[in-house]
Amino acid sequence: MRPRLSVRTLKRLLFAGAAVGGVGAVIVTVVPEVASRFHEIEASYSKMAEKVGLDKRLPNTSLMEQPSGSVMAFEDQRKQMYNPLPPRKDILKSLEEEEFDILVIGGGATGTGVALDAVTRGLKTSLVEKFDFASGTSSRSTKLIHGGVRYLQKAIFNLDIEQYRMVKESLTERANLLNIAPHLASSFPIMLPVYKWWQLPYYWAGIKMYDVVAGRQVLKPSYILSKTKALELFPMLKKDKLVGALVYYDGQHDDARMNVSLAITAVRYGASVANYTEVVSLLKTTDDDGKERVTGAHVKDRLSGREWDIKAKCVINATGPYTDRIRTLGKENIKKICQPSSGVHVVLPDYYSPESMGLLDPSTSDGRVIFFLPWQKVTVAGTTDRPCDVSDYPQPSEDEIQFILKEIRNYLSPDVEVRRGDVLSAWSGIRPLVSDPNKSDTQSIARNHIIEVADNKLITIAGGKWTTYRSMAEETVDRAVIACGLQPAQKCCTKGLLLDGAHGWSPTLFIRLVQDFGVENQVAQHLAATYGDKSFKVAKMCNLTGKRWPVLGKRLHEEYAYIEGEVKYAVREYACRAVDVLARRTRLAFTNVFAAKEALPRIVDIMAQELGWSEERKKEELEHADLFLRREMGLDIKQTSDVRLNFSKDEINQYVKRFKSLDYQNKGFITINDLRRYFKKIGERVSEDQLHDILSEVDLNRNAQVDLGEFLQLLNALRKIAEDNRGDTDIDYRRIAQLMTIRVIQMRHRTRNRNFGEEHPQSGFVADATLTGYHEQLDPVDKQDEGEDAPPEADPPEADPPEAETN
Ligand SMILES: Cc1cc2nc3c(=O)[nH]c(=O)nc-3n(C[C@H](O)[C@H](O)[C@H](O)COP(=O)(O)OP(=O)(O)OC[C@H]3O[C@@H](n4cnc5c(N)ncnc54)[C@H](O)[C@@H]3O)c2cc1C
C-alpha cells in the first residue's frame, strides 16, 4: 500500500524543511554574535563580583544598568535588603494612618510585582492580600519560567507577530528572573521525546528557533539526542518506536517562595504590605470636574476582624481570578472580562523522573501539552484546562487526576507502573484568562495580559503569566503614573533589581552552612536555594538537635529537608496561619500531603510559641490546615469522591470482622505479611507480585498498610465488579478482582448461610454509606467484638521482612 501523506503532514514536512534551512542560516549569522555578547556579559559580571568580593557566579549585576530606569548601585541595593522587617501590627498601623500614592489589591505575583516596581520608583506604596502571599494561582503554577515553545510554534505557523513579540518578551523576562533571584530559579533541561522520524527535524527547527529568538538571553543551547542517549538520560521513557529526542532549556523556580520574596523585597524598600487584609469595598470621591474617582479601599483584617479605610491616589486591582469582583466594586453592571479556567497538577514520587531532566508531551489527547518535571525532590505532572468557577478553595477532581495519569502512561515505559496510589498530592490553580475590555469582541481571550484604566481611575492588571510579572508591573505603574498624576522619583528600575536573599548568594553558600552551623548537607542546600544569603538567619533560629550530627536543623518531617527553624523565620516574614507554613513558606503540602499532615502538629506548636497562641487557637489551626489538605491538596480525594459503600449493615459488620481477623495483632491495619498469611491459610496461591499489586491498588495513602477504610473500599469495588462484570471502576481493580472475586463470593455465601439478613440489593436495609460513615453503621456490640474469626493459629512467624520492603 502506498503511504499517504495528509495535508497536515505535508505542511509539517514543508515547514520542517524550510525551518531547518532558515534556522541554519540564522544560526550561522547569529551564533557568533550571541557568543560574543555572552562573553561581554560574563566579563562585566565577573568584574562586579570581584569588586564586591563575591563568588564569580553571582547574579549578573550588569543588568542593573537599564536604559529604562536609573541605576541602583549594588551596595545600595544590598543595604536595603538588611532593612529590618517591621512587625505586621506596625504595617497595619501605617495602612490606617498614612496616605499612599498607590494601593495594590492582591498579593500574587502580579500584585507584589507592581508593589515592588512602585516603591522602587519612590512612590509611597501599599498592598493588601486577603489570605497569604501566593495563596492564589501564583503558588499553583507549573513552576516554569518560560517563553512558551508552543506559542512560538503558533507564531510561526500563523505568521502572528503579536504572538512572536509575546514569546520574545517572555524570554527576556525569563533571563531577568533567573538573574535577580539566582538562588530561587535556575535553568532547566526539558526533553521532548520523538516517536516519528519526520517530527525530528520539525521539532528540532522549533526549538532552535526558540534559542534564536532568545538571542543573547538564551539559557543554554538546545540539542538533539539519539534514542540510546535519550534513554540513558531518561530511563523511564517508553522505548517502543522512540526515534530520538530533543532537549531545550527553560527556567524553573519555587513559585510561592519567589512570590513571598517579591513581597518581602517590597517591604524592605519601604512598602506597607499586609497579608490577611481583604478589600471589602472601594472608597470613592468626586473630583472638581464632578467625576467619580476611586481613592482608596475599605479593608478588613481577616485575623482580628477589624475594619478601616486605606487612602490612596491610585488603586490597582491585581486580583487574578477575582478581577471582575473588584472591577464591580468600582462600577456595578460592567461587562465581565475574566474567564476562569482550572489547571490541575499531580505530584508523584521522585523515582518517576530523573533528577534533572523534565519531559514535555507536546500533544495530549485533548490537544494540550503536559509537563512532567522533577521539582523539590518529587515529580510534578500537569496540567489540565477546564472552565471553572472562581473559588477561594480550588479543588482537584478525580477525573482530572486520572486524565493526567493516563497521559503520562503514554510516555513512560510499561515497566513504570503509573499508579493512582503513588499520587502524593494534587492541586488546582485558577487561570485568570481575560478578554480585552477595550476590544469590541470581548468573548475572545487576550493572548497576553490586559491593563484597563476605568473612568473612575481604578486600574486593573490581569492575565499574562508568572514569567512576565515584572514587565506587566512596569507597564501598569507607567499607566498609573499618567492616569493618576503621580510623581515618581525615578523611572522603573526593577530590571536587574535583585530580590531579597540574592545579594550575598553564591552556588557554594550551602557549604558554609554545613561548616559553620553543622547543618546536614541536604538541608543546607535547601536553605541556600530558598533563602539565599538569608539562610544564615534561618540557621541562627534553629535549636540544637542534641546530637553529634547534625548540630542544628531538626527536620519537620524525616523525609524532607524542611527544618523547624524555618517556621520561626516564616513568622518573621508574616506567616500568620499554619497553612501558610505548610503550603507556601515550605512546600510540604504541595510535595507530599501525607507528610504535611504528619508535620502539622509540630508546625502548630512552634507557631504557638512564636505567636502566643492559646490551646483553642491551636485546635482551630489544626482543623483549618487539615481541611486545606483534604480539600485543596487531594488528601481525601478518594474518600470524598463518589466511592460509596454499597453494603448492608450486616455485610459491613461481617467485613469488619474479617478485617479484624486478618489484623489479629490488633494494629488497626493489615500489611502485606497479613495478606500473605491470609492467602496461605485459605490455600490460595498468590505470587509476591500479585500481593504487591493488591497492596499498591488499595493502599491509597501509600503507607504500605491497608486500614479498615481501604479494605472496605477494596471489597466494595470487588462487589461492583462481581455484580455488573464491568471491570472499569474508577480505580483499576481488575488484577485484584481476578485474585479476590472468589473470596468475595465465598464471603457472600457465608453471609447468606448464616442468615445475617437478606442480601443486597433485595435487603430492606441497604447501607449506602460513605467511607467515613461506616463506623456509625456498626452495632455497639460489634464495635467491641474482637471478631468472629479466631486469630489464625500462629503461623510460624516468618522472618518478617521490614514492612517498608512491601512498597
Ligand atoms: C495551572 C497553571 C499553571 C501555570 N503555569 C505557569 C508556568 O509554568 N509559568 C508561568 O509563567 N505562568 C504559569 N501560570 C500562570 C501564572 O501562574 C499566573 O499568571 C499568575 O500566577 C497570576 O498571578 P496573579 O497575581 O495575577 O493572580 P493570583 O496569584 O491569583 O493573585 C491574586 C491575589 O489576589 C487576592 N485577592 C483577591 N481578592 C482580594 C481582595 N478582595 N482583597 C485582597 N486580596 C484579594 C487573592 O487572594 C490572590 O492571592 C500558570 C497558571 C495556572 C493556572
Q: Are residues 303 and 333 in the same domain?
A: yes
- Transcribe 412-470 into DSSP letters: B-TTS---GGG--EEEEEEEEEEB-TTSS-TTSBPSS-EEEE-TT--EEEE---GGGHH
Residue 78 falls within a domain, yes or no?
A: yes
* Whether residue 460 is found in the same domain as residue 575: no
Question: How many A from CA of 132 to the centre of ligand 1?
Answer: 12
Residue nearest to atom 2 of ligand 1 (CA): 141
How far apart CA 782 and CA 658 sit, in angstroms, is 12
Q: Which of 269, 279, 254 is nearest to 107 (CA)?
A: 279
- In-domain check, residue 748: yes
Q: Give the model's pLDDT for residue 11.
A: 54
Ligand 1 atom nearest the C-alpha of 384 is 1
Assess if residue 405 is contained within a domain: no
* Closest atom, ligand 1, to C-alpha of 106: 34
CA 379 to chain centre: 11
Instruction: Tell whether 68 is covered by a domain.
Output: yes
Q: Is residue 8 part of a domain?
A: no
CA atoms lying within 13 Å on the CB side of residue 678: 19
- Does 695 lie in the same domain as 604? no
Please tell me whether residues 655 and 772 are part of one structural domain.
Answer: yes
What pLDDT sits at residue 745?
Answer: 39
Residues 364-417 have pLDDT tens digits of 777 778 999 999 999 999 988 889 999 999 999 999 999 999 999 989 998 888
Is pLDDT above 70 for 18?
no
For residues 289 and 300, give the distance between their C-alpha atoms in angstroms, rounded to a whole number: 31
Centre of ligand 1 to C-alpha 394, Å, is 12
Q: How confident is the model at residue 783 (pLDDT cuts 50, 70, 90)?
A: very low
Establish if 219 belongs to a structural domain. no
Distance 322 CA to ligand 1 centre (A): 10
DSSP 3-state of 102: strand
Q: Looking at this protein, which amino acid is placed at residue 375?
A: W
- Domain encompassing residue 590: 509-632
How many whole angstroms from 141 Cα to the centroid of ligand 1?
8
| 445 within 8 A of 271, measured Cβ to Cβ | no
Same domain, 607 and 477: no
What CATH number is associated with residue 623? 1.10.8.870
Q: Which residue has the cell 478581577?
A: 323
470 vs 465, 479, 490, 497, 699, CA distance in Å?
10, 14, 17, 11, 44
- Helix and strand totals (H; E) in the chain: 27, 24
Pairing of strands 644-645, 560-563: unpaired
Q: In a mutational test of the pocket of ligand 1, which residue from 322, 341, 577 has the highest number of ligand atoms less than 8 Å from its CB? A: 322
100 and 129 inside one domain? yes
Neighbour tally for 680: CB within 10 Å: 14
What residues does 160 pair with on adjacent strands?
A: none
- DSSP secondary structure of 476-522: HHHHHHHHHT---SS----TT-PPTT-TT--TTHHHHHHHHH---HH
- Cα of 365 vs centre of ligand 1, distance in Å, is 26
Q: Please say if the pLDDT value at position 358 is more than 90.
A: yes
> Does some domain include residue 198?
no
Rounded mean pLDDT of 153-182?
A: 89
Same structural domain for residues 564 and 590? yes
**Residue 249 alpha carbon to ligand 1 centre in Å:** 24
pLDDT value at residue 9 = 56
Q: Atom 31, ligand 1: which residue's CA is nearest? A: 108
Q: Which three cell numbers stand for residue 289?
A: 470636574
Determine the distance separating the centroid of ligand 1 and the alpha carbon of 138, expressed in angstroms: 4
The predicted model gives 59-63 an average pLDDT of 44
Whether residues 612 and 716 share a domain: the answer is no
What are the pLDDT digits (tens) for 122-139? Answer: 999 999 999 999 999 999
**Is residue 651 very low, low, confident or very high in pLDDT (cuts 50, 70, 90)?**
confident
| 672 against 629, higher pLDDT | 629
Average pLDDT in the chain:
82
Give the integer Cα–Cα distance in Å for 496 and 727.
Answer: 58
Distance from residue 68's CA to the centre of ligand 1 (Å): 27
Beta strands 358-361 and 370-375, pairing class: antiparallel
Q: Given this model, what pLDDT does residue 801 score?
A: 32
CATH of the domain at 282: 3.50.50.60
Would the pLDDT of 45 be above 80?
no
Q: How many structural domains is the chain composed of?
A: 3
- Could you tell which of 103, 138, 146, 339 is best to mutate to test the pocket of ligand 1, judged by most ligand atoms within 8 Å of the CB? 138
Chain centroid, CA 237 distance in Å: 23
Three-state DSSP state, 588: helix
Residue 145 has pLDDT above 50, yes or no: yes
Q: Ligand 1, residues 466, 467, 470: which to mutate, most atoms within 8 A of Cβ? A: 466
- Top-ranked range on mean pLDDT: pick from 264-278, 665-679, 682-696: 264-278
734 and 617 share a domain? Answer: no
Instruction: Check: CB of residue 779 under 8 Å from CB of residue 653.
Output: yes
Quote the percentage of the chain above a pLDDT of 70: 77
Residues 653 and 742 in one domain: yes
Nearest CA to ligand 1 atom 25: 108
User: Is 177 a member of any domain?
Assistant: no
Q: Say if residues 20 and 201 touch (Cβ distance below 8 Å).
A: yes
How much distance in Å is there from the Cα of 320 to the middle of ligand 1? 5
Show Cβ contacts of residue 778 under 8 Å, excluding neighbours closer than 6 positions: 649, 652, 653, 656
The ligand 1 site (C-beta within 6 Å) comprises: 105-111, 128-131, 135-138, 140-144, 146, 278-279, 318-322, 343, 383, 429-432, 464-467
Q: Looking at residue 472, what is its pLDDT?
A: 98
In the predicted structure, residue 16 carries a pLDDT above the cut 80 = no
Look at the alpha carbons of 549, 550, 551, 556 in this order and tell me if their dihedral is positive or negative: negative
For residues 628 and 653, state if they share a domain.
no
Residue 675 belongs to domain with CATH number: 1.10.238.10
Whether 522 and 475 share a structural domain = no
Whether residue 447 has pLDDT greater than 80: no
